[in-house]
Amino acid sequence: MKKLENYLAGKWITGDGDGQALYDAVSGEPIAGATSKGLDFAAMLDHGRKVGNPALRKMTFHERGRMLRALATYLLERKEKFYQVSYHTGATKADSWIDIEGGIGNLFSNASLRRKFPDLPYCTDGEPVSLSKAGTFMGHHILVPKEGVAIHINAFNFPVWGMLEKCAVNWLAGMPAVVKPATITSYLAEAVVKEIIASQILPDGALQLICGSAGNLLDYVSSQDVVTFTGSASTGLLLKSHPKILSESVPFNMEADSLNCIVLGADVQPGSSEWEIFIKEVRKEMTVKAGQKCTAIRRIFVLENKMEDVWKAIATSLSQTTIGNPLNEKVRMGSLAGESQRKEVKAQVQKLLASSQLVYGSLDSVEVLDADAKKGAFISPVLLKNEKPFENNASHEIEAFGPVSTIMPYKNLEEAIALSKKGKGSLCSSIVTTDNKIATEYTIGAAPYHGRILILNTECAKESTGHGSPLPLLVHGGPGRAGGGEEMGGVRGIKHYMQRVAIQGSPATITEITKTYQQNAAGNKSTVHPFKKYFEELKVGDQITTEKRKITSEDIDRFANMSGDHFYAHLNETDFNGTMFEKQVAHGYFIMSAAAGLFVDSYEKNPVLLNYGIDELRFTKPVYPGVEMYVRFTCKEKIPQDKREENEISKGIVKWLVEIFDETKEHIGVATILTMVKRKG
């Protein structure tokens, strides 16, 4: 029997001894042994900190993002290898798609997020803050990568997705990772990591792997490390209270299995489209990955007078689900991950049966296709009924991590919300309703106890990703029992691996640190108009101050006629008593247009390809006829863009600070405009 290898300090190493035997979940045959005995965990973390971390920290967000995109493309080309290994876990092709291509999709999604960041190794966070009257002292926040290692202790159910959804984020943030998959399915994680290392796309030390026990790994963590855990709440609590985690104040993110719920809105009637959506969603969440999902539906809440109709409809739907060998195309539900998992699920169901009734399924037998029900870790879907959910609390406290769910009645929406909260914190909840008032009341009422809420109806069902699908751009996690953590969430997730630092100083100093021009910093004066410079030639702080232009009543009238904007304040004949204005006032958009006329160098071709947009436009003072306006125009920030096609023009986005003044040197307007600027090359 082959032994899985661990990847430590740039080398593939088999641990000492035979280790834990791993079995094919469908046939029961042994397929590998896994052990981490003899591994030097201190050296592993030291390698990540001293080799992997500096390499990633030196890279910019854009370089890291392109690295993720290259890795995602590389893995996608080799996905069929992973599917063949994934079948050993008992997963069907559809189950494996979620794990494998869902994980790779996380790499693509995070690669795209590079556009939200500067082409620097670090970034600003939030808005600058003026700290003085004269504008010579200010503050800001920056985010820099931590100098440690991200340690991911993952669950058995998604050995690929669970690894890549976390690593994608820490790599984009500039931190290396040590991945410790659950041993029972670590052979699939090993197969993917083998390909990642072979690609040589990541710098040395960016990824290390432990197949087997984590041993005393946490004894060596430091305050610069981040630890994430996905799994049972009891194991998570044990790890979270590790003395080194506490003494070093190591950030610890826990995503624990939870008793997620779905509610059938009182407005939904049998036979309606929403009724069918509800039944389908419950069946899917009970049978995908054989119910082995941290987001799977464990509790079903239905108006009490529809209980029988609902459980019978669910039972009928479940009876049409073919169970068996996932290699068979007719099979829709595979096995559990192993015999130990089957024993655990059966034991938990027995506890639930003390206060609930079995209305579908069996713990003793299951009909399977193209497989041996005794040798494989197969189990029937199990639907339970708890008639008294406010008295019998087991359904809100005990989780059977398999195709098991409990249906319970409610009298009104207030009760449905109260029942959802009895799970004491969940990763997600869903409600199926066509009534947006019901949706709003449920969402706001249940929200403090859930990390994500899905509202389903015919309007969105066809494109909905479903109850159990965490998405890279939305947060994943939940309060209370669900672990109290948060991961993914687009830009939000990246910040978990960075240190937020408040910085204070002069605008010039903060400009230099952030590489973004700050108001009141001295600009770079030049005889060459900024619009005549290519993207590479422009420097943050390049600045011009324009000539003055007098605003006349005729200007305002002409703009009103041209634009069709005849708002009363722009009309000369308006009686201005009781208004905010003294007399006819110029349109804000006319002032912005006039400003463009002052700062745009427009008489010949130049590297500026087009105006890309306007951000943060504000009009700060009324402009009356006779005012003399001028503009201070400054290169604020540069954002490179990648070519999408070979013959595409090479370019970048430049942000310009537009400050509009009157003759008293007071601001009358401020904006950030964006232009697309050609590169020289």
Q: What is the predicted pLDDT for the residue at 360?
A: 94
Token look-up 């003793």 returns 364
Determine which one of 123, 167, 261, 294 is catalytic. Answer: 294
Task: Give the whole-angstrom CA distance, residue 565 versus residue 522.
Answer: 38
Task: Give the whole-angstrom CA distance, residue 379 versus residue 365.
Answer: 7
Task: Tell me which residues of the chain have a pLDDT lower than 50.
Answer: none
Residues 6+ apart with CB under 8 A from 547: 598, 630
Determine which one of 101, 190, 255, 659 is catalytic. Answer: 255
Burial class (CB in 10 A: 0-12, 13-18, 19+), 505: middle
Which residue in 629, 670, 653 sits closest to 520, CA to CA? 670
Task: Give the whole-angstrom CA distance, residue 505 versus residue 432.
Answer: 53
Task: Give the whole-angstrom CA distance, residue 404 versus residue 352.
Answer: 10
Is residue 589 within 8 Å of 618, Cβ to Cβ? no
Q: What SS3 class is residue 343? A: helix
Considering only CA atoms, give the Rg of the chain.
30
Q: What is the predicted pLDDT for the residue at 646?
A: 79
Residues found in the chain = 681
Task: Give the whole-angstrom CA distance, residue 318 versus residue 323.
Answer: 10
294 noted as active-site residue = yes
Q: What is the predicted pLDDT for the residue at 438?
A: 95
Q: How far is CA 671 from CA 607, 635, 674, in A?
A: 22, 12, 10
Task: Give the whole-angstrom CA distance, residue 402 versus residue 338.
Answer: 11
DSSP letter (8 states) at residue 148: S
Domains of the chain are 40-126+145-256 (3.40.605.10), 260-471 (3.40.309.10), 523-678 (3.10.129.10)
Burial class (CB in 10 A: 0-12, 13-18, 19+), 132: exposed
Q: What SS3 class is residue 437? A: helix
Q: Residue 332 is encoded by which pair of tokens?
A: 């829709």
DSSP letter (8 states) at residue 426: B
Beta-carbon count within 10 A of 133 CB: 7
Burial class (CB in 10 A: 0-12, 13-18, 19+), 545: middle
The number of angstroms, rounded, from the C-alpha of 268 to the middle of its chain's C-alpha atoms is 32
Q: What SS3 class is residue 368? A: coil
Give just the sign of the alpha carbon dihedral 333, 337, 338, 342. Answer: negative
Is residue 410 within 8 Å of 386, Cβ to Cβ? no
Is residue 416 within 8 Å of 301, Cβ to Cβ? yes
255 noted as active-site residue = yes
DSSP letter (8 states) at residue 136: -
